[in-house]
A and B are shown apart, each in its own frame.
Chain A
Amino acid sequence: MIREHDSVIVRTVVRALVPFIQLFALYVVFHGHGSPGGGFQGGVILAASYILIALALGRAELDRLVQEGAVLVLGALGVLIFALTGALGPVLGAPLLDYEVLSLPGVHGPEARALGILIIEIGVAIGVAGALTLIFCRLAKAGEGEGAP
């Protein structure tokens, strides 16, 4: 079990830092169009913020913030967002993963594709963040593990 870190400096800095890390994760996801990064990297950063909480503030704090079952559902939801966005194409008579079917009034052609990319990036981010947080939750299960490094 990962306990709360002994140093008050570490705990305070992590508490202060986590919102900014999460903000940066969102920035990376939503600016994937124009700058390096995207759903995958943003999702990993988001998961890292929760892992950091567990490492510095203890596993109990992470359990207080997120439930494992909810994280699993979120991971599945991310994949589902991607798959359903892709499946809209065949439903509306276009190839699979053709985002041009997302055309709205005033949004068509490349703009619709950009919108599709944004939606699937959000899906990837939710899926990856959920998956990585879930793996960490399982590996560092509370009350288990004998040898502590």
Chain B
Amino acid sequence: MSVLLNALFLALLVILAVAAVRVRDLVGAVLALSAYGLVLALTWAGMGAVDVAFTEAVVGAGASTVFFLATLLRTVRTEQVRLPRARAASLAAVLLLGGLLFLATHEFPSWGDPASPASVHVSPRYLRLGYEETGAPNIVTAVLADYRGYDTLIETVVIFTAALACWVLLWRPKA
């Protein structure tokens, strides 16, 4: 993907993230968050992480938006709490912390670096033997469903638990 397109996506992400926090109209804020999810999915797709992009598109841009809107049906549409004006001290603290984090990103391995820690541990073995061992040409599926089956099993339990919690918390006996 071209550098220009990447820069556009990243700039859009920042704008949409700020919009999602600052917009007082909650439906507008939810839609900004949904657009954020969509642009993020495009960014993932551009980086070659197609499975992650797919998940971000269906959950981040799709399902969570509908859940937020359904929640708004039960409450009011405008934000009631006014965000306090930023004070000089807190602004300085945020800028300092943000600057430190920004400096720390220079220590990260560059994108796609074959010598980065994540690429030299178990990944080469998975890539080499994944298809032979699991019969799944999509290496992401092989890792998710087989090599890291525990994680996926517990993840599924987590989602079901969330649904169960929602079901129990919002349950109201018919008066």
A residues apposed to B, CB below 8 Å: 2, 32-41, 44-45, 47-48, 51, 55, 68, 72, 75-76, 78-79, 82-83, 86, 96-97, 99, 110-111, 113-114, 116-117, 120-121, 123-124, 127-128, 130-132, 134-136, 138-141, 144-149
Q: Is the CB of B146 within 8 A of A130?
A: no
Question: Of residues A32, A75, A131, which shows the largest number of chain B Cβ atoms within 10 Å of its Cβ?
Answer: A131
Interface 0/1 of B134-175, CB less than 8 Å to A: 111110111011100110110011011011101100111000
Interface residue SS majority, chain A: helix
Whole-angstrom distance from the CB of A141 to the nearest CB of chain B? 7
Which B residues touch A149, using CB under 8 A?
26-27, 69, 72-73, 77
Which A residues touch B164, using CB under 8 A?
72, 75
Q: Is the CB of A135 within 8 A of B138?
A: no
Whole-angstrom distance from the CB of B35 to the nearest CB of chain A? 17
Q: Is the CB of A36 within 8 A of B51?
A: yes
Whole-angstrom distance from the CB of A27 to the nearest CB of chain B? 13
Q: Is the CB of B137 within 8 A of A33?
A: yes
Q: Is the CB of B162 within 8 A of A83?
A: no
Is B66 among interface residues, defined by CB-CB distance under 8 A? yes
Interface 0/1 of B112-145, CB less than 8 Å to A: 0000000000000000000111111110111011
Is B14 among interface residues, defined by CB-CB distance under 8 A? no
Residues from 74 to 113 in B contacting A, C-beta threshold 8 Å: 74-77
Whole-angstrom distance from the CB of A70 to the nearest CB of chain B? 13
Is B59 among interface residues, defined by CB-CB distance under 8 A? yes
Which B residues touch A79, using CB under 8 A?
156-157, 160
Whole-angstrom distance from the CB of B60 to the nearest CB of chain A? 11
Interface residue SS majority, chain B: helix
A51→B68 CA distance, assembly (Å): 13
Whole-angstrom distance from the CB of B146 to the nearest CB of chain A? 6
Q: Is the CB of B135 within 8 A of A110?
A: yes
Which B residues touch A33, using CB under 8 A?
135-138, 141
Which B residues touch A83, using CB under 8 A?
153, 157
A101→B68 CA distance, assembly (Å): 43
Is B7 among interface residues, defined by CB-CB distance under 8 A? no
Whole-angstrom distance from the CB of B123 to the nearest CB of chain A? 18
A39→B153 CA distance, assembly (Å): 12
Write 13 A-B pairs (CB below 8 A) sorted by A numbering. Answer: A79-B156, A113-B133, A113-B134, A120-B149, A120-B153, A121-B141, A127-B156, A134-B167, A138-B167, A139-B74, A144-B74, A149-B26, A149-B77
